[in-house]
Structure 1
Amino acid sequence: MNKTILAAALLAALPAFAAPTLMPSWDAPSLTKACDAAVAKARKDIAAMSAKKEPGTILAEWNKLQIAVEDVAGPVSLLGAVHPDKAVRDAAEPCSTKLTELNTEINQNEALYARVKAVKPANAHQKKLQKDLLEVFEDSGVTLPQDKRARVKEIFDQLEAGRQAFDRNIRDDKTTVTMTPAEMEGLSEAYLKDKKKDEQGNYVLKLDTPVYGPFMSNAKSEAARERYYRARSKQGGEQNLKILETLFILRQELATIYGLPDYATYVTRRKMVGTPANVNKFLAEVKQAVGEVEKKELEELRADKSKERGTPPDQTAFSRWDVNYHQERIRKARFAVDQEELRKYFPTEKAIAYTFLVAETLYGIKIKPVAVKSWNEDVRYYEVSDAKTGKYLSSFYFDPFPREGKYTHAAAWAVRGASKLTGRTPMTVFVTNIDRKGLTQAEMETVFHEFGHVLHGVLSTADYNPQAGTNTLQDFVEAPSQMFEEWVRHEQPLALMKTVCPECPQLTKDQIQRLEAARTYGQGSKYQRQWEYAAFDMALSQKPQPVMQAWIAVEKQTPLGYIEGTTFPAAFGHLASGYAAGYYGYMWSEVLALDMLSAFKGNYLDPAVGKRYRDIILANGAQEEPMDLVKRFLGREPSSDAFFKEITGKR
């Protein structure tokens, strides 16, 4: 999953293209002190800005204010998710609450609203910034009567508190599943080697994705897969179901205050999609496209299970914990593809070097490691410069491996947004939980996806900080990262592995073709699941209701149905945070990602197209409408043809 969180490092505005200071090394008291000081300073600055009557330099003042707030919000957001010291993670939560309260105060300030509204933009970027700011002010309640404005602020505060509690319950869930050695049959020696055992010699498995994923794809024991599936489906606990239900009730109330029918309308009116009706139409098209594909796949998977067990197909039960395992069996048999075997082709350190080399080749940049201290010994730091001029552009951290208390998925924290007008250079933190020894192609795709977000952040040159990098619309923000996944699927870029690892076995043309055929097998099941997530989100966003009731209703519309006793929504973190009424955006943005890919015309290392993409899409961030950027890059109206071919396995 892609989860991009926008924040910033503790830095002041710097001279143009100067390498920034590093992330702060905060203990819990230092974090709290820095947070309180930043909030107090921001309130003082807001008072001074509010005292002015004319628009004057309000956009520049706003830029400076946002940078100052971002300088603390970034480390807090990041360290609350990755710091090894629980005290620091815990201290980040009250600070995030204070920053949320501050943000609402800023956006409900009538004097600031009046000054922004009175601006006469000098150029297109100022006009876009003014438009965006006015929408934020209005969505925060500045034009409402005082009593309603106060209630909106309470709702925002409660939504933030709920998000924190929801994420904490997942992060701190210590559930493990114990497997006997016999139940680990099918798992590779590399997988087994570093797994903890109890006193009886049984394996103790956590719910983390790097542990769970390979098990569900390779463990022969159906009973073990079922037990693990059920445990994972309850991550976060019953308390998260109650939190999620409360969040959607609050969101509905927010929409009602604005005279809107539902939260989905409140959200989508500011997105590319425009209306809930457009979302529902798109999701209906997806469901129709993948329905027959999934049905055929499930028949094949059931037949494979029947063959393995020696039972007639019509007497062979098939469930959700069987899908990944039998897909993997078919991929091995039909395409001679074994994802676990691919780890020797992508040793972890060489895979990271390959990721960076592709970006360097495509976008005309250089990525240089720099030795620095950080929050954990595994974390690395890199500086990015322009390959042609040698000019410093930006920097990023990379936190690659799992550890106790760390965020368990993969994400990019855009902790420091660019601002060309102040010379502010961007910084992003790249967080994954990858295997230390080697990666499968699927894991490589995750690395490329998140590094696509990193590149969107660190190659931004937006004039104003609020429009930097990944601050673009939510139903577009995934497109650059989704497109970048393609660079681990094609022969031309994969040949660069020879450069970083001459001693590694190299994938042949035939292997790459079989890998792509294997990847596109199972698209019906994959996108049916994506439809389920998005349809569930829209159901709650259009009508708050008991969470499990809504989830069961959605799952029952699919061939595999609902598994009694499972509570998947308890771990669906997207809906507790910024993706409520927005999960459809993953597929919506993929339409644009696959269409933009066509500009390369099969030459995936074409530096001219790469430079044009960097300059038009990545550099601009949110200072232009995303559809305008896409049209300019493509030279035409976008098309959904490639997307619908992709989701039906025909691309």
Structure 2
Amino acid sequence: MKRSSFLSSTILQNLLPATTVLLVLAGYSTFAQSQAIEETAQRPLIKLLKAEQIKPLCDSSLVDLRKQVAAIEKLPPAQAGDSDKVLTEWNNLQINIENLQGPMDIMSNVSPDPKVRSATEACLIDANKFSTDLLQNEKLYARFKAIAPTDPVEQKLRQDVLYNFDDTGVSLPPEKRERLKVILDKLEELSQTYERNIRDNNQKVSFTPDEMKGMPAAYMTQQKKDAKGNYLLGFDYPAYKPFMESADNSEARRRYQIAFTNHGTPANLDVLKQAMVLRHEMAGLFDLPSYADLVLRRRMAKTPQAVYKFLDEVQTAVTPLEIKEIEDLRAFKAETLKTPLADTKIERWDVEYWQQKYKQQHYQIDQEALRQYFPTDAAVPWILHVSGALYGVDFKAVKVPVWNKDVKYFDVIDTASKKRIGGVYMDLFPREGKYGHAAAWGTRGVSTIAGRTPFSVLVTNFDRKGLNSDELETLVHEFGHCLHGVLSNTKYVSQAGTNVELDFVEAPSQMYEEWARRKESLQLIAGFCKPGCPTISDDMLQRLNAVHNYGRGMRYARQLLYASYDMTIHNDQGATEDPLAVWAKMEGATPLGYVPGTEFPGQFGHLMGGYAAGYYGYMWSEVLALDMLSRYNGHLMNPEVGHLYRQTILMRGAERPAEDMVTTFLGRKPNSKAFFDEINGKRIQ
């Protein structure tokens, strides 16, 4: 999932519990026709702009926004009984901000035109500066301080907005407040630079035909060649991951892995270092010892100590399992190659290859062969059908203006009322200059008092012909974020969709991954295959689940390393450290060690894209995801539970604290039993 606040993609990106996620934009606007979202009688759409149109539109929109703020400033001082008035005027302002920012953010990541991407990035930086000024506005802050909320939804919104103002420095002395503004503006620039360095890196890695041995014929035909007949592979996942799983040449895998790990370029190490220093300085402005202390106080975890305790518990469960799995894989490699065990080693570039061989031999599962079971043009209507059956909605394909011919758009219709409640764009296939992973942007959030409907944008880089089981899970996961956005039904846009605490935001999507692994949902895919595809037998399903469970020690250990590294560079000493040196030391202490010359922190996009001092949230969210799954009691296609989930979790957005919503859905307090059972292989399916 791609995160941002209602402010921008970086400002307060780790400070605010209720302003995180997908992009969280909104829509009804007093000047919507001049914005980057185009309102029609039927639906709001992303207005496709030429590069030269973007700056004038951005400038005029920001002028209008400043006029709106000035008009609010001139209003009489707010009284306790003015909560509805103050919250409504704030809601309208946030909608207008998001009308500008949302399309700019998604276009900066998916537009085929590099000039458009550059122009939208510049607009986002200017929008970020406006947002910083907005949350340092003492008059607007005073209006919120004065009101007395009349219900829990108003109370939570008021508290969240006050947190936003406080965390942007409205209560700091003038000199500190000004310095914080400089820091926030600079962090936005650094975030844009970091992502651009990754996204626009069109470097190709050359491999001889001999180095391509082991690759499927279908893969080979999709790759470009140079004049000498060598294959040229880039850094998109449909090229990289199958190669690491299937290429027989160990040296070729080593070379590709190093190039992939370094594709953020060395410049990003400097960008990350600058961000670490600025974040630490930001914490100091609030008299807090670290950036982690600053941001975690607004999340479920509350303190770094709670995160460290959780990570220690994960380490205790995972480390012995990781070591055993590596040893088992080493023994399998030695047996397969007929080499002495003492002389056999598993390198980082060996893991995916030998895991794939192990799965093929022990479970008769070949990830490339799975593509015939999950054709892409069947998997998409399948997940729409599953989602519709569970949550009581229909998805209607509609032709609208799109930024690339492959992009599809669907209206989301409530089955009971027959009303259009939202929309989803799908941009599924790789191309140069596009965001290189899989993510969902909640480009427009709902607001019932504004009569505003939401839409989300799903971005992936899938193989056009079919998905393997991992990619099917990715599709379901990211579409779960889209559902969280478009099925939200909140009164205020700031509480829409995925604007929940960062350490909960992944939970709905992680829970939804289970639908990519269970018979009652998977067996429906065959019905969408044209002319037809193999069906998933009970035996195959059992083997697929065994494949999913295999390697969980190494998988969770890697997540633990990422989370621990993130916390380390954002602790009270982190700003004094070199980010690559810290990574080399921490990865070097793991059983597989550090590969000299690799620069993973330079392409660890979460650190600059909203998850700084927050990566632990993936596992923290999974605790809640697996616990929520228990409510289905093994019957995943039960529409009654799906309807309850839609009402208590998806529709509520951030109107209530995440733990309260989960408690309501489960009928009890959440716990971590299912999560640790998953790690230990004891979770009942």
TM-score (norm 1): 0.98
Contact 2:440/2:458 (<8 A) preserved:
yes
Report if aligned partners of 1:19, 1:394 keep a CA contact under 8 Å in 2: no
Match of residue 195 from structure 1 = 223
1:619 is matched with 651
Checking the alignment, whether the CA contact within 8 Å between 1:97 and 1:157 is kept in structure 2 is yes
How far is the alpha carbon of 1:9 from its aligned partner?
7.0
CA contact (8 A) 2:27 2:446 kept: no
Inter-partner Cα distance in structure 2 for 1:67 and 1:163: 24
For residue 509 of structure 2, the aligned residue among 481, 495, 500 is 481
Q: Which residue, 65, 80, 90 being the options, matches 1:42?
A: 65
1:18 Cα deviation after fit: 6.8
CA contact (8 A) 1:179 1:204 kept: yes
Deviation of 1:372 (Å) = 1.5
Question: Any idea what SS the aligned residue of 2:498 has?
Answer: helix
Amino acid at match of 2:398: V
Q: Describe the superposition over 1:468-493 as per-residue Cα deviations: whole angstroms up to 9, x where unpaired.
A: 00111111000011111110100111
Q: CA-to-partner distance for each residue in 1:20-44, whole Å, 9 max, x for gaps?
A: 2321010112121221111111111
Indicate how the Cα distance of structure 1 residues 510 and 629 shifts in structure 2: closer, same or farther if over 3 A, else same: same
Query: Structure 2: how far apart are the matches of 1:452 and 1:279?
Result: 25
Q: Which region of structure 1 is more displaced relative to structure 2, 317-326 or 51-60? A: 51-60
Equivalences for 1:51-62 in 2 at 5 Å?
A: 51-52=74-75, 53-55=77-79, 56=82, 57-62=85-90
Q: For 1:566 and 1:71, locate their aligned partners in 2 and report how far apart those are by CA, in whole Å.
A: 40
Q: Work out the percentage of aligned pairs sharing the same amino acid.
A: 47
Query: Of 559, 563, 578, which aligns to 1:546?
Result: 578
State the Cα deviation string for residues 535-573 of structure 1 (Å, max 9, x = none): 000001102211012111211221011111111000011
Q: Does residue 361 of structure 2 align to residue 361 of structure 1?
A: no
User: Is 2:571 the counterpart of 1:535?
Assistant: no
**Alpha-carbon distance, 1:11 to partner:** 5.8
Read off the aligned partner of 2:264 and give its amino acid letter.
G
- Cα 1:75–1:7 change in 2 (3 A) is farther
Residues 401, 434 of structure 1: 8 Å contact kept: yes
Superposition deviation, residue 499 in structure 1: 2.7
Residue 416 in structure 1 maps to residue 447 in structure 2: no
- Report the alpha carbon displacement of residue 105 of structure 1 after superposing the two structures with TM: 0.6
**Cα offsets for 1:588-622 (capped at 9, x unmatched):** 00000010000001110000000000011000001
Q: Which runs of 5+ in 1 are unaligned?
A: none
* Pick aligned residue for 1:512 from 532, 541, 553: 541
**How far did 1:317 drift?**
2.3
Q: Which residue in the other structure is 2:354 paired with?
A: 326
Match of 2:238 in 1: 210
In 1, Cα distance between the equivalents of 2:248 and 2:26?
Answer: 46
2 CA distance for matches of 1:364 and 1:509? Answer: 28
Indicate conservation of the 8 Å contact 1:386/1:393, yes or no: yes
- Compute the displacement of 1:10 (Å): 6.9
Superposition misfits of 4+ residues, deviation over 4 angstroms = 1-4
Paired amino acid for 1:24: K
More displaced 10-residue stretch of structure 1: 47-56 or 82-91: 47-56
Q: Secondary structure at the match of 2:435?
A: coil
In structure 1, distance between residues paired with 2:208 and 2:359: 27
- Selected match of 1:281 from 297, 300, 309: 309
SS at match of 2:45: coil
Q: CA deviation at 1:423?
A: 1.1
Letter matched to residue 612 of structure 2 = A
Q: Distance in 1 between matches of 2:226 and 2:529?
A: 38
SS of the aligned residue for 1:201 comes to coil
Determine helix, strand or coil for the equivalent of 1:471: coil
Query: Equivalent residues in 2 for 1:112-131 (5 A)?
Result: 112-131=140-159
2:614 to 571, 577, 582: 582
Aligned counterpart, 2:14: none
Partner of 1:566, secondary structure, is coil
- Counterpart residue number, 1:101: 129
Report how far residue 7 of structure 1 moved: 4.5
Q: 1:18 to 1:482 in 2, by over 3 A?
A: farther
User: What's 1:382 paired with?
Assistant: 410
Tell me by how many angstroms 1:343 deviates: 0.4
Q: CA deviation at 1:247?
A: 0.1
Aligned equivalents of 1:266 and 1:306: distance in 2?
Answer: 49
2:26/2:95 contact within 8 Å kept: no
Q: Report the counterpart of residue 310 of structure 1 in structure 2.
A: 338
Q: Which residue of 1 aligns with 2:635?
A: 603
Cα drift, residue 2 of structure 1: 6.3
Q: What does the per-residue CA deviation read over 1:152-172, in whole Å, with 9 as the maximum and x for residues that have no partner? A: 000000100110110011011
Q: In the aligned structure 1, how far is the partner of 2:556 from the partner of 2:41?
A: 44
Question: C-alpha displacement at 1:46, in angstroms?
Answer: 0.7
2: distance between equivalents of 1:579 and 1:274?
15
Aligned counterparts of 1:476 and 1:8: Cα–Cα separation in 2? 19
**What do the CA deviations read for 1:214-263 (whole angstroms, capped 9, x no partner)?**
11011111111101011111111111001101101000000000000100
Aligned residues: 650
What TM-score results when the alignment is normalised by the length of structure 2?
A: 0.93
| Native 8 Å contact 1:7 1:414 kept in 2 | yes
For 1:637 and 1:439, the matched residues in 2 are separated by 37
CA positional deviation for 1:308: 2.9
Task: Report the AA paired with residue 318 of structure 1.
Answer: I
Query: What is the CA–CA distance in structure 2 between the aligned matches of 1:350 and 1:223, rounded to whole Å?
Result: 37
Q: Is the counterpart of residue 164 in structure 1 residue 192 in structure 2?
A: yes
Q: In structure 1, the residue corresponding to 2:425 is in which secondary structure?
A: strand
Distance 1:453 1:648, change over 3 A: same
| Contact 2:292 2:304 (8 Å CA) reproduced | yes
Amino acid of the structure 2 residue aligned with 1:38: S
The residue number in structure 1 matching 2:46 is 23
2:368 maps to 1:340: yes
Moved more, 197-206 or 127-136: 197-206
| Counterpart contact for 2:412–2:423, Cα < 8 Å | yes
Q: Is the CA contact (8 Å cut-off) linking 1:170 and 1:571 kept in structure 2?
A: yes
Identify the match of residue 32 of structure 1 among 42, 48, 55: 55
Q: Secondary structure at the match of 2:400?
A: coil
Match of 1:446 in 2: 474
Cα RMSD, aligned residues only: 1.5
Amino acid paired to 1:21: P
How far the C-alpha of 1:212 sits from its partner, in A, is: 0.6
* Cα contact 2:24–2:499 (8 A) shared by 1: no
Q: How many Å apart are 1:19 and its aligned residue?
A: 3.5
CA distance in 2 between counterparts of 1:585 and 1:574 reads 11
User: Conserved in 2, the CA contact under 8 Å of 1:185 and 1:219?
Assistant: yes
CA distance in structure 1 between the aligned counterparts of 2:222 and 2:51, rounded to whole angstroms: 32
Q: Deviations over 1:493-517 (max 9, x none)?
A: 1121133237211010110111001
Q: Is the 8 A contact 2:495 2:654 kept in 1?
A: yes
Whether 1:223 and 2:251 are equivalent positions in the alignment is yes
